[in-house]
């Protein structure tokens, strides 16, 4: 790698620079990845808009409307959905600073219900979770998430241990263009 001034970067600088953008949010990384997939003709997967009811709008001038008050119409389902190789894809993305576990408080009842429905109807459903403290992103199939969720509801653990996620999930390598190349994992699991 050469800097604009023509000097070569030392190997240690290169490895550090590959991690330099990891401070970006998981959502932004997934959005960039999805745009890459779309541009490359691989998949059509988008972030779902959050349904809101606008109540009050201020019009200081015609071209500059400002929303002053709005409410969520309903609880949203998961973050992303779309099509890949003729299959419906649906997933939730969560980021945690926790080093030892993924807190299940980050997931909601209505999301689990939605994920179960997707799985029941043959869709591919999963959770992408980033452990920002470890600079690691994992894909966990919805079917593997459900037992931990129902154990929590019965008074069990309120989180999934990091080591369990490492064992049951799939690490998603960080790449330049495909920052969160989750389709590589989907290919190995389903196709």
- Decide if 107 contacts 140 (C-beta within 8 A): no
Quick check: is 88 in a domain?
Answer: yes
Is 6 within the bounds of a domain? no
Could you tell me the CATH number of the domain that includes residue 84? 3.40.1350.10
* 7 falls within a domain: no
The string of pLDDT tens digits covering residues 168-178 is 999 998 888 89
User: Is 92 labelled as part of a ligand binding site?
Assistant: yes
CA 130 to chain centre: 8
* 15 within some domain: no
Q: Is 113 marked as binding a ligand?
A: no
Domain span at residue 55?
Answer: 20-190
> Does the annotation flag 79 for ligand binding?
yes
pLDDT band at 128 (very low <50, low <70, confident <90, very high): very high
100-118: per-residue pLDDT in tens?
A: 999 999 999 999 999 999 9
Residue 28 annotated as lining a ligand binding site: no
pTM of the model: 0.78
Q: Between these two residues, 26 and 71, which has the higher pLDDT value?
A: 26
For residue 78, CA distances in Å to 17, 46, 82, 98, 176 come to 32, 11, 12, 22, 25
Contact status, residue 109 vs residue 137, Cβ threshold 8 Å:
no
Within a domain: 172: yes
Residue 5 belongs to some domain of the structure: no
Number of domains in the chain: 1
Task: Give the whole-angstrom CA distance, residue 186 versus residue 125.
Answer: 10
Which long-range contacts does 84-88 make (Cβ < 8 Å, 24+ apart)?
84/37, 84/42, 84/43, 84/44, 84/45, 84/124, 84/183, 84/186, 85/43, 85/191, 87/122, 87/123, 87/124, 87/190, 88/118, 88/121, 88/122, 88/123, 88/124
State the average pLDDT over residues 39-48.
96
Domain membership flag for residue 72: yes
């Amino acid at each position: 790698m050469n800097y604009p001034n023509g000097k070569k970067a030392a190997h240690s600088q290169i490895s550090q620079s590959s991690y330099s953008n990891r401070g970006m949010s998981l959502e932004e990384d997934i959005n960039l990845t999805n745009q890459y997939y779309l541009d490359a003709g691989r998949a059509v997967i988008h972030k779902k808009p959050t349904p809101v009811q606008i109540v009050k709008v201020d019009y200081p001038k015609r071209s500059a409307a400002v929303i002053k008050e709005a409410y969520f119409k309903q609880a949203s389902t998961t973050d992303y959905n779309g099509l890949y190789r003729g299959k419906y894809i649906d997933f939730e993305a969560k980021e945690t600073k926790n080093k030892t576990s993924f807190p299940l408080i980050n997931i909601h009842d209505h999301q689990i219900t939605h994920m179960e429905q997707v799985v029941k109807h043959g869709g591919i459903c999963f959770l992408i979770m980033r452990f920002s403290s470890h600079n690691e992103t994992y894909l966990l199939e919805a079917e593997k998430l459900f037992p931990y969720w129902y154990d929590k509801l019965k008074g069990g653990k309120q989180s999934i241990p990091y080591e369990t996620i490492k064992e049951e999930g799939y690490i998603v390598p960080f790449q330049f263009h495909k920052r969160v190349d989750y389709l590589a994992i989907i290919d190995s699991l389903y196709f």
